[in-house]
Structure 1
Amino acid sequence: MMKKLLFHIKNSIKIKIILIYIASLIIVYLVTWMVLSAFLFRSLEDERVQNMRSNSEKIVEDVQVIKENYGNILYRLSNNHIIYKSLSNRCKQYEQVWEALTSIKYTLSEDMARSSIIKRLEVYQQGSDIGEDGKYVFNDRFDSAVLENTGWITELDDKTALLCRYQKISALYNNVEAYIRIGIDSQEAFGPVTEIKGDIAGLVYLTDEENVIIASSETDAVGKHMSNILPDTRLDYEEGSIAEQNNIMVMKNSVDEKWNVWVFISSSHFENQVKHAKLVVGLILLSYGIFSGMALSILLNHVFKRLHKLGEKMEQIQGDISYIAVHETGDEVAVLEAQYNSMLKKLENVIDEMAEVKSQKQKFEFKSLESQINPHFLYNTLGVMRWEALESQNPKLVTMLDDLTAFYRLSLNKGRGLLSVEQELNLVRAYINIQQMRWDHVVEVKLTMDSELKDITVPKMILQPLVENIWLHGNITAPGNRKVEINAKDCGINVEFKIWDNGDGIPEEVLQKFRMNRETDGDSFGIGIQFIGNILNYYYGNHFVYEITSNRQSGTLIRIRLPKEMGGMK
């Protein structure tokens, strides 16, 4: 059994390819898993540290900004000239006292209106004669000791815990001393910034110098001591490092000397990420192996089925050219080689009876020559049309558009190579109208056709390239009595076209190449002339006349005579 299996493996390319594929797939699996273990899985482990650190640093930064913002409000109010003036003035009458108190109230109310987080804004003073106001100004509660603490402290005000800070109003005169107290709701102020960003979940606590929670992403924790939250009883966590205990990772970062930010993340979240990543990678590799194996099997079956079919078809062909050596391996290619030799042997008997297929070279040359027709007149025309459109609403623009549309409709002709004589002349007329518009009708043009010819079919674009050469190379727009005449004449069984102009003529070297039927590669002047000759030869063989005479005295005359019946039409 094993011997037979080894024989099949030795003599079957298909089995060899499958075995090589399986071996390479196993190697890919092993290498991929090792690379992912070294980079992806380890990076997921590192990611949790980076996520905690970046979240903690961002929260610390936001808390500092908020503290600074409310500190700036307090500082600005302590230097407010309205408060400063109201406290410093001597008030001799009740109206003056009321006016001073009202000014202070209004100034403080403005800031409280801007932020609902500010719960208290109060002025305490002594030595002033503006009296006592029950809400804002007090004579008997001035306490200079609170000014020694310039930070934020937690106070109980009307059974509400507030974060408070004091700022002395300095440089007052008339023996007045005063300070401003601001009180904010710590959870409202700092709670929104204690949310963890990104694809991880956890809790954040902001504590004061007594390790009491003053704000948290867990609202119910506000007011509790951190010892009730931490997974162990110790509080001396190293700043910026992660301590892990009971599947909880804790990171502590300082906002300042008194405040700290604590970040709590469940370590199982990251463990699940790693497990999920390994599961996804495993499924992807397994799916790749299954589907790629199926695709390879289908492909091999298809390829070798085609090879066997090709061999069978080759057996049916008779003739001979030369033999090839057949390998002794006995695999599929060797079978194909043997079948190929059998085909060659049969071909030897019929090689003299094979017919030569007619070349399609001319057809491709026509397409190539047609694509070489210089399109620069289109760009010039579009430039003139744009100028006319910008200048004013001019009927000439409509005419040019009509002619341009007619030109391309007839020249493209839905991909067909034939037009009626009338259509061919209309195509030429459209082109001439465009050039006349461009050159302000400096050329006298005469175009005639015998009415009997209008439905006679001819190859398209046999006149336009020749007319185009008159404008491009004949200098027909130069000053002088310049003329162009185009005529289609009925000559019995033939139709004759004549194109005459009194321009500068065709260079002699171009005419020589035309008369000797030579290629005019790189010569844009001769492209159109050669193009027409190739088209006529393709459709009429030798049954046409194509003559060109040109000199400075008599001008240029091109004469084309074609049979009305296109018996040799391709």
Structure 2
Amino acid sequence: MKQYLRRKIKQFQDIKFRRKLIITYIFVGVIPIIVLGTFCYSKSRHQLIEREKKNIQDYMQQAVGTLNNQMQIYNNLSDYLSYNQSIAQVVGYPYKSYYEMYQQFTQDLDPLLASLKYFHNDVNQVTIYTSNDIVKHDNTIAPMCEIEKSSWYQAVKGSKQILWFADSETKNAYSCRTMPKFEKTDSDGILYIKVDYEALFDSFQSMSSSNYGVFVVDQNDSIVYEYQKFDKENQNLKLSYQQFHHQPLNVYTVMHTEAAYDNWTVYVYKPNKLLLLDVKQMIFGIVLVALVCILISIFAVTFISKIMVSGIEELTAHMAKVEGGHMEIQVTSESKDEVGELIRGFGKMINEINRLIKEVYESKITQKEYEMKALQAQINPHFLYNSLSLINWKALEAEQPDISRITLRLSSFYRTALNKGKNTLKIRDEISNVKAYIDIQLMMHDYEFDVEVDADEDIMEYETLNLILQPLIENAIDHGIDLLEDRRGRISIIGKREEDNIKLIVEDNGVGMTKEKADSILTLGSKGYGVRNVNERIQLYYGKEYSLQVDSQVGEGTKITICIPVIS
């Protein structure tokens, strides 16, 4: 576990600073926002669901209250009719003829019941059933024998209360009660009031916008009223009363309450997954605000990190350029913070380094020039040339052609070597100079070795440093050819162009050297001062990418390659 944490910490340390800021902000900013948003969403969702349940509960209570009020109105009407003396006199009167009975019913009973139905237009029927010997008159009064076989008759006969009956299949709702005995005939009566079924339960049809169901059942668990209101796409969520009893509580939210009359129980159910439909916009708003906050936070940290890190990234880019050798860059910053101070400090350091490099470089060049001028000053060209000319004439007078030839070659060599104080000349002149030097060496060695010069004509007009071949020829003779005992010496000088570079090669078949010695011949510790000096001059003049390359095999010879750029 510790190794895993160390590895992750190491990976975090290696990533870019801007990403570190973003990741850090995500951990200390965005993640808490997400956690807080999730918590708020969860709490809000729970509270909204509870509120929706409370709303349904309130709607149900209001609907039941409306039902109770309606039933109370009808009960008051029932009481009024049951204890009305005019009705008792009409119903309980001992009639002697049917005409007298009919006249009494039409003149007294019918207008009274009609007026009640006029003021209560949802009362469909008011009928008084009596054990008195009467003839049925319309729907207002009828003999008791008509209802003795009814399902509700026995329940009403044995009760002194108002009983309500309703049937969801036939859509009928009515109240029944026993009336006080009629004194004149000692007969019994039952008051039957039928009301509009839909009007009685109308309050249950506007409890919510949609997607809920209502069951009203009596004490025998029979359905008194049933109402289902579901959208077209949610019809599969409807339940029959039998299915309603077997649904798990986590699928549907179920609420119930008791009606005030006749032991009716009201059940309301709604699918849990649809509870949030009514509060969907509110939850969507909460989620949207949280997402907007997260996006704004990410944008803000990205923008701020860019501002904070841009200076460091610019400084890193400048440092990479300096590392690549581009020392001429200008580094500055107008920022007043620590990063700005760091950038300005780096700029001052680069300027100071450039100043020191310039001083050291110029002092070294000046030193080389002074050394060259001092060497040239030691050799007075006119005096030297006049002296060599005199020696030549003397040799000719004494009939010594070899002395004359050496004198002429020596004059030609020094004329090219001194080069009027200049450091560069054409490759053609450098080849001519080294040929003069080789002729002198051949005379000094009695022509004991061979020399071959093979330089392409197309490189002759290009520029080179003077006196870069002579030290290599001298090194080949002294340390290679002169030490041979088993074969004749040979030196090859080759000049050719390769793309934008010129290669000048000096190769001998001398005794050669070991790889260690070949690798060290160009270093400060080597004794080959002439070869090392040529290498330093080339790098100083053309740059570090140009130099000498030494390849040697013991017993086979040595090959030194000069690489310089093509310069007209």
For Structure 1 versus Structure 2, the TM-score category normalised by the shorter chain is 0.3 to 0.5
Q: Normalization by structure 1: what TM-score? A: 0.41
Specify the structure having the higher radius of gyration (Cα). Answer: 2
Q: Normalization by structure 2: what TM-score? A: 0.41
Structure with the largest fraction of helix? 2
